[in-house]
Structure 1
Amino acid sequence: MTIAIETIKDDFAFLDEWEDRYRYIIELGQGLSPFPEQSRDDAHKVRGCVSQVWLDTARGGGPDPVLTFHGDSDAHIVRGLVAIMIALFSGRRASTILATEAEETMRELGLDEHLTPQRANGLRSMVRRIKREAEAALEPAE
């Protein structure tokens, strides 16, 4: 199940208490598609996260391909954060991914204030990885 980032923003606006928002983040993570066991390897691991996070990228064709992301984590909250980043970036063209400001979305959701520094750094590491994938997708084939 993939949920739209707009739906997540609307749901966050409806939830007043951070306890409820944390529960919602965990629920988002539970909604992620199962991540293949064979992809839980070094090549798919996101560096810079305290928890283990894996990210797989599927690339469409053309000079500005659509990228689809699939991810997972071994920690409940982080798994939910992975779901939020997938909602923000997956299914979009590489150029759109590069133009998307994840920090702005984190501020809108209040994540910048309510995440531990380690989780926030891990989230930034995941965004850097996603943006590197988008940059690589835009490089001309040799």
Structure 2
Amino acid sequence: MSEEPLYRRGVGVMLINTDRKVWVGRRIDNTDEAWQMPQGGIDKGEQPWATALRELEEETGIPPHLVERIADHPERLRYDLPDDLQPKLWGGKWRGQEQDWFLCRFLGRNMDVNIATAHPEFCDWKWIEAAELPGIIVPFKRDLYRCLIDHWAEHLR
């Protein structure tokens, strides 16, 4: 459990394909062309890896059997929401998120991705080079994404 109750506990998944490109989805609720990797909050009593698999399937339609866990980031990573967003997200309860991150390999084919889920979060998706991530993510998550790219660089080239 987090020592800092001002941060929502969550997970994130950096999903790479056989070409070592990273899966990103364009958020359905953002008009600024904001893309991101799959992520979400941990439910009460849920473990981070189970959350990662659940969130990945809920957001991308990719079932757990098409995902191979490659690595876990050794520490939880945080981001802070901008001041104007804090009161609007999660009922204003949290300053940002503190996340466990997992690097995973996609074992399926593009046709196995289905963002038209029960509660869609993305309106488009694509595979990109990891180096492109900071340029397409919302500014307040850029440092977190750079940290992931640096830490998993050997898996991304």
* Superposition TM-score tier, normalisation by shorter sequence: 0.3 to 0.5
Compare the two structures and name the one with the higher strand fraction. Answer: 2
Give the structure, 1 or 2, with the largest relative contact order (CA under 8 Å, sep 6 or more): 2
Write 1 or 2 for the structure with the bigger share of helix: 1
